[in-house]
Structures are given as structure tokens and as C-alpha cells.
Amino acid sequence: MWKSILRYMCLNPLLLVVLSILLLLPLIATWGQFITSGFLSESIKVSLLFWPQSTWRFFVQIPGWLIFGTFTLLYLAGMYSLIRRKKLGEAFLIVLAGFILAKTGGFLFQAITGWVSTNQMNPNDLVGKANLLVFATWHNPIWEEVVFRGIPLALLMVVYRKAPFPTGAKWLYLIVPSIIFAIYHVPGHGVGTVFESFLIGVLWALAALRWGLLAPIILHIFADAMQVPLLAQMKNMPLAEIPWLVDYSWLLNSVWTISILLLLLLVPILFLVGWRKSIRS
């Protein structure tokens, strides 16, 4: 019954339109920022190897238009793949539910241990770095998914040739990279987030196993980049560096708010309708 309800919800055309708008909004906002700020014409240091809060990193210089164009194609390819396979709604809603559970688990973990999350960014650190902040919301999710989910998944493919993998191998894939993923986030976010980061790592790994690596990549990007349309309202953000986002904040905020409200309205309605159809059948 639950599978039929989920299938009914996830294949609803209006829900898919709302989800597509939500996913495209950060991309549109980022392009607007990068085009008007001249970021695309700059040569960007793209980190390939690094560790949070460490001064050491290995990077390559890539034109802004080339690297973000590549990110855009990857993002759109992921969306298209999920839509074509009729998995966009399923992936989005299941990951959203997983995020809520992970956040709840992280909150309980902090309440029990007394450990807290930290934000080591000084407000003055944002000055002159608005574009880098926006770029990080795209680069970091892609880098993390390639390193913590993509490489281990490739190793499984080399060892076992094809999916489905043995149960033990799946558990190793879910647990070991997620532990490293959690440790990786400690320098920037504090030890209080270690359990939440671990749960989110497991969530992304499950998404990769269920829908392919592109699914966690685009949903992880969305989870980070959804703040881009709202940067004009961010405290201590140097507004002079994001004029396009400031000028169109009313439009971006309106589309964002309406889409979220529609999503919150649609999900319970579709669930109830799907539940009634399932009972009748």
C-alpha cells in the first residue's frame, strides 16, 4: 500500500513542476550573480584536494565560464535523468524525509552529549568573497559526492563488476565513507554535528545506490545552493557584491515562497488521495 501511495504522489504532474521550479531556482540565481559580477570571465582556483580549515590544498586554474558551465550541464543532466526515469519526485521526497530525520537525530545527539555546532566564519570574512561563497555551494557538494560516494561506488563496481552488490559490501559503502564524511565536517562545523553529518552521509550513499550517483549530486547541490536566491536577506552579506540578487530578490523570494507553500500543500493532499485510492483498490 505504501509503495502505491508513494508512486501516486511522486508521479503527480503538478508536484513535478513545483520540484523542477525549486531545483532550477538556485541555478538561475547563480547564473544571474555570475554574469553580472564578471565571475565567468575570471580564472577560478578549483580545489581538487583539500581538508577543511587547512591551508594546504591542491587546485587547478579554470575559466569561470568553463567550470560553472560544466557544473550546470551536470546538474541539468541529473535532473533530466531523474525525470526521464520518473524518479524525481521519489528521490526528492525520500531525501527530504531523510534530512528531517537526520536533523532530528543531530539535535538529540547534541542535547544528550552537550556538544554543539560551531560557525567559524567571521562576518568580515564575507567581504570580497560573495562569488566564492556562491561558487562553494556548487563546488563543495560535487566534490564531496565524487570523493565520499563516487570513488567508493567505483571501487565496488571494480570488485563486483555490477550491481546489486552483496549485503556486506553495501553496509561497508554506507558506513565507512559516511564516518569519514562526518569527520571531514568537524573542523568547519564542530564536533556537535558529527552524528548529523554521519546520518546525512548515509542518506546520500543510499541515494547513490537507489538512483545512481547523479541523484545525490543534484540533491546535495540543491541542499547547499538553495540559499543563493536568498542571499540578499543573509546577515552581514556585502550587498554591493550581489547587486543582481538584491535587485531581483523580490522575484526570487516570491517564486521560492510560493513553490514551498505549494509543496507543503500538495504533499499531504496527494498522500490522502493516494491513501484513499489504495484502500479502494
Q: Where exactly are the structural domains of the chain?
A: 2-280
Overall pTM > 0.75: yes
- Residue 222: all three cell numbers together: 540543491
Per residue of the chain (281 residues), give pLDDT as tens: 778 888 889 999 999 999 999 999 999 999 999 999 999 999 999 999 988 888 888 999 999 999 999 999 999 999 999 999 999 999 999 999 999 999 999 999 999 999 888 765 565 678 888 999 999 999 999 999 999 999 999 999 999 887 788 999 999 999 999 999 999 999 988 899 999 999 999 999 999 999 999 999 999 999 999 999 999 998 888 999 999 999 999 999 999 999 999 999 999 999 999 898 888 77
Give the chain's end-to-end CA distance (angstroms, integer): 10
User: 237 by DSSP, 3-state: which?
Assistant: coil
